[in-house]
Amino acid sequence: MPAIRHVTFSNGASVAALGQGTWFMGDSPADAKKEVRALQLGVDLGMTLIDTAEMYADGGAEKIVGKAIAGRRSGVFLVSKVLPSNASRRGTVAACEASLRRLGTDYLDLYLLHWRGSYPLAETILAMNTLVEQGKIRLWGVSNLDLDDMAELTEQATGGLVQTNQLLYNLSRRGIEYDLLPWCRERNVPIMAYSPIEQGRLLDDRTLVRIAERHGATPAQVALAWVLRHPDVIAIPKASSEAHVRENSASLTVALTAADLSDLDLAFPPPRRKQALEML
């Protein structure tokens, strides 16, 4: 298995380009042990970035992650998110502290605003800076912010410290390529792509199936390889079984050709104009 390429944030921190998402984990106690094993296997295979959020299963996903990283915290790059309804100066700190308790750790490597809400961005930034000063988080970023929001964010005092923007990005959701991805690239703000295989809805596409057959791969592996073709994009697919984790990991062996990429552009055309930011 080839080594996982790394992506470097503007502060110099380096993370695995292929990580693990946890959306929809923690919903069923019957699945907990399987989910913990899947996350641990992913870490063993080098997918050491784990992304979660207080919203997922009302904190249940964070508890699953806490079990998975027990005894191996130093080998994991841990990401969580604050809900917009909690993103006031005091609320952000309180939400982070609650996440840390569920995760069984005393710090997050990266803490994100899940999407923009009613609290001013400047207030959330102040809270993030407070958490950094307290040692409760190392870095902060955002999720689901479009170009106008990012421009406003970076105009704030210390807003330029934003490290990433986590966005919906996959073959069928390419809108960010028109303006947001280039804008972030120019400012060394890597993108973290969630739902990189569109929660499985892409996998019956004829073009994906045909390209997968060319490479002796699965359609999911081709879809992941397509997202990972960018040197500054991190993919965080969710896998709740060990078999699925191994499938995701094996996407690193898929080297898409120019012909493959051309076929995918025909099947999933890149944007020709500004599109509204999409969220799931």
Q: What is the pLDDT of residues 241-260, one digit of tens each?
A: 999 999 999 999 999 999 99
Q: Are 79 and 51 in contact (CB under 8 A)?
A: yes
What pLDDT is stored for residue 225 in this prediction? 97
pLDDT in tens, 150-189: 999 999 999 999 999 999 999 999 999 999 999 999 999 9
Does residue 221 belong to any structural domain of this protein? yes
Does residue 272 belong to any structural domain of this protein? no
Does residue 24 belong to any structural domain of this protein? yes
**How far is Cα of residue 95 from the mean position of the Cα atoms in its chain?**
19
Question: Which residue, 151, 50, 134, 147, is CA-closest to 92?
Answer: 134
Does residue 276 belong to any structural domain of this protein? no
Tokens of 256: 């898409």
Tokens of 140: 């902060």
Residue type, 211: I
Q: How confident is the prediction for the chain on average, in pLDDT?
A: 96
Burial tier of 47 (Cβ tally within 10 Å: 0-12, 13-18, 19+): buried
Q: What are the start-end ranges of the H helices in the chain?
A: 32-44, 60-69, 89-103, 121-133, 147-155, 180-186, 206-215, 219-227, 242-250, 258-267
CATH number at residue 198: 3.20.20.100
Stretch 102-130: mean pLDDT? 98
User: Rounded CA gap, 51 and 260, in Å?
Assistant: 30
Beta bridge partners of 82: 113
pLDDT at 1 over 80: no
pLDDT at 199 over 90: no
Does residue 153 belong to any structural domain of this protein? yes
Stretch 194-220: mean pLDDT? 95
Stretch 116-138: mean pLDDT? 98
Beta bridge partners of 158: none
What pLDDT is stored for residue 91 in this prediction? 98
pLDDT at 2 over 90: no
What pLDDT is stored for residue 200 in this prediction? 86
Does residue 103 belong to any structural domain of this protein? yes
How many domains does the structure of the chain reveal? 1
User: Rounded CA gap, 172 and 40, in Å?
Assistant: 30
Known catalytic membership, residue 56: yes
pLDDT at 138 over 80: yes
State which residues form the domain around 36.
6-267
Does residue 163 belong to any structural domain of this protein? yes
pLDDT in tens, 16-40: 999 999 999 999 999 999 999 999 9
Find the catalytic residue in 56, 111, 169, 194: 56
Does residue 279 belong to any structural domain of this protein? no
Rounded to the nearest 5 percent, the helix, strand and coil shares of the chain are: 45, 15, 40
